[in-house]
Amino acid sequence: MALRILASTAAIAAACAFASPATAAITIFNSAGNVQPAENVLIVDGLTGQTVFGNTNNTNTNVSFLSLTSGVNLAGFANGQSRVEAIGGPLDALRFFLTNGERFGEVEFDLHKAAGDTDTVNVTFFGSFGTETRTFDLGNGNNWFAAQTSGGDLITAVSFDTSGSGVDDIRQVRLGAIEGVTPPPAVPEPATWAMMLGGFGLLGAAARRRTRTAVTFG
């Protein structure tokens, strides 16, 4: 009898382990440089309202920034570090996403300068992996957050809400691995151009030397 009970318990435990949800295929960071998305989001300057917009700098993909605080509108600024802030006070809660419903695999952003009454922030990532929320400390300066998906999962939206009145703004938003969008090929750096031109010059010189070689017949 005892053996049958133990066997049944083991079977139930194995079934529960098999049925438990898989770990989400997203890695979340709270420092800069861990993820290096390909595109900067350039905010449309001078827009105000519950939603303001930006566009990625390479593929011109439209990005929406939505205020999640009742009665609080946003303002967008293209100058400086291309930022979004709340009108009339700190920015407490916001969500951003690709306007046309596309998804993305990489994101990085900075929540700048927490107010004196604001110690932490909840950052939430929505996507094909489900919903993942992390709580992080906030400081009086740059507060970097980033995420990267794997295994075919993608992000649909990112939101944050703080423990107090909020932060000055969200800035330096970067996105990468946008679904269905192929970034244009990167423009070579000046040093790369110089090396390429030098290589072409050597090839040309070699070709000229071959052309000038005398051919004699016996």
| pLDDT tens string 78-111 | 987 899 999 999 999 999 999 999 999 999 999 9
Classify residue 113: in a domain, yes or no: yes
Contact 158, 106 (CB under 8 A): no
Classify residue 15: in a domain, yes or no: no
Classify residue 205: in a domain, yes or no: no
Per-residue CA distances from 25 to 22, 64, 105, 130, 138 (Å): 9, 24, 10, 10, 25
pLDDT the model gives residue 202: 59
**Would you give the distance in Å from CA 16 to the centre of its chain?**
35
Low-confidence ranges of the chain (pLDDT < 70): 1-24, 182-218
Give the type of residue at 78. A
Classify residue 164: in a domain, yes or no: yes
pLDDT the model gives residue 158: 98
Q: Are strands 142-149 and 26-29 parallel, antiparallel or unpaired?
A: antiparallel
Residues spanned by the domain of 86: 20-178
Classify residue 136: in a domain, yes or no: yes
Tell the burial category of 157 from Cβ atoms under 10 Å away from its Cβ (0-12, 13-18, 19+). Answer: middle
pLDDT the model gives residue 9: 43
Structure tokens at 217: 């017949």
- The CATH number covering residue 102 comes to 2.60.120
Alpha-carbon distance 210 to 204, whole Å? 10
Average pLDDT, the chain: 84
Classify residue 3: in a domain, yes or no: no
pLDDT the model gives residue 209: 57
pLDDT the model gives residue 192: 58
Number of independent structural domains in the chain = 1
Classify residue 41: in a domain, yes or no: yes
pLDDT the model gives residue 90: 98
pLDDT the model gives residue 4: 46
Look up the pTM and report it: 0.74
Cross-strand bridge partners of residue 178: 104
DSSP 63: E
DSSP 89: S
Q: What is the 3-state secondary structure (H, E, C) of 34-75?
A: CCCCCEEEEECCCCEECEEEEEECCCCCEEEEEECCCCCCEE
